[in-house]
């Protein structure tokens, strides 16, 4: 199939993905995809081979061949997916369509919805940025994505935000390999060899011994909680319950990535038992959210894991009231957000301590609205999750809070202590992303480079792995999501060698240094928000004329 034919099909609304040189039309699979339709939509028009192989089992990859409609030859130059604002030209073959149809197709291409406000950095060819190489045969060396630009006077301070974006994109282009087609295909080829090395060393094999020890830890923590309740040591019992939840999340994470048995149905059942029945959280919500996070990591408009306005902002771009493609709404930078972002470096840890309550809300929203697949192999999971939610609130809400605790104050204290005790998990999860790059280097950037650019690993001695759950190696996990977390440390040597070979920096921080970097990023965005407010005040005083800001 020609590139023009594929572009025309996408312009007509078809969901086309490239996988191992095959052209897949995945429209029929959207309602069935267990990971949600958003993850697929972010791959439309792109060569998704690396993403698919990283996130799917061999059996799932073989099933995808049912949707092939053709093949391509040679390198594929990625389009920007429609959900990310990419515009596609329909076929203008006058032999096949009449004049009215030609007009309609042109209007469709010109009216493609954009998921973000126009920005000079992303909507024009920013020649002022320093780029690696200037090859006329490979125009994709630039991070430019379209030809739209805004010529209206700036009355909102966007010029200042765009200047910051230009600076960050420029720094990333200097720091990382060029995003031209040839360079990124070379990185992708070496990533495939790395993936093969991971498989050859048996790192996809699950360690049953490790899970035996983990299960003993889970049982021990729950037993300690019940013993404390029997002897009326309620605070200590709440601590043990929080520690149990903290540890169990790692098991649910493995199951959600099919990292235990590598069987979709078995691992999902394990994950639902742990997440819903024991933890009160929806595994289906997590998978829908987490799969998008793994594909568009740290993208302010698309990655729900960094979309925390009005409470936090880890990038100045969120100060521009971006539209979230995941939540399908504008993330308003309103008066409340301005107040909260001013003090976000101070509220960061207290609010994360309450993060589990927000996870309940997101889980209930997912289940009540039935956002998961209603047909296909994952449809029955909703019923199991609903049963799990009733079971959780029966044993925790009724059995423990109501029956085993004496009064309202003790119940409140038990809930707060247990939930806060499990909160270091939230610090661990966001630590690997909040201080990393949020720039968009264009659709040609390879999966491997994007993951390493947006994710850091946390250094710690092996005896502390159980506290971090093995997921302190988030960069390695993002490269190989289905590798069991007990094997991530073993894969580190191979990943470091790969990074040296391709010239991609490998971000490795100590736990304290990583937290300092996150707090530093939050403080920097707060400072940028204060400067933006001054710029907007200047605009107001000058009657809508925005001055120069260096």
pLDDT greater than 50 at residue 195: yes
**Chain centroid to CA 511: how far?**
21
pLDDT greater than 90 at residue 429: no
Distance CA 27, CA 285 (A): 22
User: In which band, very low, low, confident or very high, does the pLDDT at 108 lie, cut at 50, 70 and 90?
Assistant: very low
pLDDT greater than 90 at residue 227: yes
Residue 182: is it exposed, middle or buried by C-beta count within 10 angstroms (0-12/13-18/19+)?
middle
Distance CA 298, CA 455 (A): 8
Which phi and psi angles does 399 have, rounded to 5°? -65, -40
Residue 503, phi-psi category: left (phi > 0), alpha (psi -120 to 50), beta (remainder):
left
Distance CA 24, CA 372 (A): 22
The architecture (CATH level 2) of 3-91 comes to Roll (3.10)
> Which of 100-109, 202-211, 436-445 is modeled with the greatest confidence?
436-445
Residue 131 and residue 112 in contact, taking contact as beta carbons nearer than 8 Å? no
Distance CA 40, CA 450 (A): 17
SS (H, E, C) 11-59: HCCCCEEEECCEEEECHHHCCCCCCCHHHHHCCCCCECHHHHHHHCCHH
Which of 479, 56, 324 lies closest to 24 in space, CA to CA? 56
The residue ranges of every structural domain in the chain are: 3-91, 181-510
Helices 99-110 and 3-11 cross at an angle (nearest 10°) of 80
pLDDT greater than 90 at residue 104: no
DSSP 473: -
Mean per-residue pLDDT for 410-431? 93
pTM of the model: 0.86
Which of 423, 249, 243, 411 lies closest to 350 in space, CA to CA? 423
Distance CA 548, CA 157 (A): 11
SS (H, E, C) 530-542: HHHHHHHHHHHHC
Mean per-residue pLDDT for 190-207? 94
Res 146: pLDDT: 34
Which phi and psi angles does 324 have, rounded to 5°? -80, 125
Distance CA 522, CA 362 (A): 24
- List all residues 6 or more positions away from 68 whose beta carbon is below 8 Å from its beta carbon: 22, 23, 24, 25
Which of 428, 518, 419, 422 lies closest to 464 in space, CA to CA? 428
**Chain centroid to CA 402: how far?**
38
Average pLDDT of the chain, as a whole number: 87
User: In which band, very low, low, confident or very high, does the pLDDT at 545 lie, cut at 50, 70 and 90?
Assistant: low
pLDDT greater than 80 at residue 549: no
Res 154: pLDDT: 55
User: In which band, very low, low, confident or very high, does the pLDDT at 137 lie, cut at 50, 70 and 90?
Assistant: very low
Which of 285, 149, 242, 203 lies closest to 479 in space, CA to CA? 203
User: In which band, very low, low, confident or very high, does the pLDDT at 35 lie, cut at 50, 70 and 90?
Assistant: confident
Residues in the chain: 550
Q: How many CB atoms lie within 10 A of CB 217?
A: 15
Distance CA 237, CA 222 (A): 9
**The token pair that represents 301 in the structure block:** 């408009």
Residue 17 and residue 26 in contact, taking contact as beta carbons nearer than 8 Å? yes
Which of 178, 118, 107, 183 lies closest to 142 in space, CA to CA? 178
Mean per-residue pLDDT for 25-39? 91
Res 144: pLDDT: 35
User: In which band, very low, low, confident or very high, does the pLDDT at 543 lie, cut at 50, 70 and 90?
Assistant: low
Res 464: pLDDT: 87
pLDDT tens digit sequence for 258-291:
999 889 999 999 999 999 999 999 999 999 999 9
Residue 83 and residue 42 in contact, taking contact as beta carbons nearer than 8 Å? yes
**Chain centroid to CA 280: how far?**
22
């Amino acid at each position: 199939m020609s590139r023009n034919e594929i572009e025309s099909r996408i312009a007509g609304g078809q969901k086309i993905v490239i996988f191992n040189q095959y052209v897949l039309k995945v429209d029929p699979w959207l309602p069935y995809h267990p990971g949600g339709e958003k993850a697929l939509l972010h791959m439309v028009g792109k060569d998704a081979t690396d993403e698919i192989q990283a996130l799917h089992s061999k059996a799932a990859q073989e099933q995808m061949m049912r949707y092939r409609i053709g093949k391509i030859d040679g390198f594929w130059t990625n389009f920007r997916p429609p959900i990310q604002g990419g515009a596609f030209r329909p076929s203008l073959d006058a032999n096949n369509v009449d004049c009215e149809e030609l007009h309609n197709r042109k209007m469709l291409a010109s009216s493609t919805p954009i998921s973000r406000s126009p920005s000079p950095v992303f909507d024009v060819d920013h020649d002022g940025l320093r780029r690696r190489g200037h090859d006329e045969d490979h125009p994709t060396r630039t991070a430019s994505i379209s030809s739209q630009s805004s010529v209206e006077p700036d009355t909102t301070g966007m010029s200042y935000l765009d200047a910051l974006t230009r600076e960050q994109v420029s720094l990333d282009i200097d720091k990382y390999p060029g995003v031209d087609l040839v360079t990124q295909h070379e990185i992708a080829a070496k990533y495939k060899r790395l993936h093969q090395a991971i498989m050859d060393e048996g790192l996809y094999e699950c360690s049953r011994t490790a899970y035996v020890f983990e299960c003993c830890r889970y049982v021990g923590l729950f037993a300690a909680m019940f013993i404390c309740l029997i002897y009326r040591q309620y605070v200590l019992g709440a601590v043990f319950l929080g520690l149990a939840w903290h540890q169990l999340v790692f098991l649910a994470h493995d199951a959600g990535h099919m990292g235990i048995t590598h069987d979709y149905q078995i691992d999902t059942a394990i994950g639902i038992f742990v997440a819903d029945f024991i933890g009160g959280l929806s595994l289906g919500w997590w998978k829908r959210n987490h799969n998008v996070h793994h594909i568009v990591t740290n993208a302010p408009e698309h990655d729900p894991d960094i979309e925390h306005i009005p409470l936090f902002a880890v990038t100045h771009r969120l100060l521009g009231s971006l539209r979230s493609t995941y939540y399908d709404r504008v993330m308003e930078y309103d008066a409340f957000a301005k107040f909260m972002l001013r003090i976000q470096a101070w509220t960061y840890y207290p609010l994360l301590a309450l993060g589990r309550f927000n996870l309940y809300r997101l889980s209930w929203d997912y289940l009540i609205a039935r956002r998961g697949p209603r047909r296909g192999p994952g449809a029955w999971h909703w019923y199991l999750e609903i049963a799990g939610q009733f079971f959780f609130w029966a044993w925790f809400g009724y059995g423990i809070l109501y029956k085993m605790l004496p009064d309202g104050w003790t119940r409140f204290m038990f809930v707060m202590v247990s939930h806060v005790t499990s909160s270091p998990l939230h610090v661990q999860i966001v630590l690997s992303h909040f201080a990393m790059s949020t720039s968009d280097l264009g659709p040609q950037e390879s999966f491997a480079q994007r993951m390493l650019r947006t994710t850091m690993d946390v250094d710690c001695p092996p005896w502390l792995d159980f506290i971090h759950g093995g997921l302190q190696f988030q960069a390695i996990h993002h490269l190989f999501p289905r590798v069991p977390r007990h094997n991530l440390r073993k894969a580190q040597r191979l990943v470091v060698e790969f990074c040296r070979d391709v010239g991609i920096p490998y971000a490795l921080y100590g736990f304290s240094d990583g937290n300092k970097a996150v707090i530093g990023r939050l403080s920097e965005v707060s400072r940028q928000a204060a400067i933006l407010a001054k710029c907007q005040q200047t605009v107001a005083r000058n009657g809508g004329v925005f001055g120069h800001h260096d």
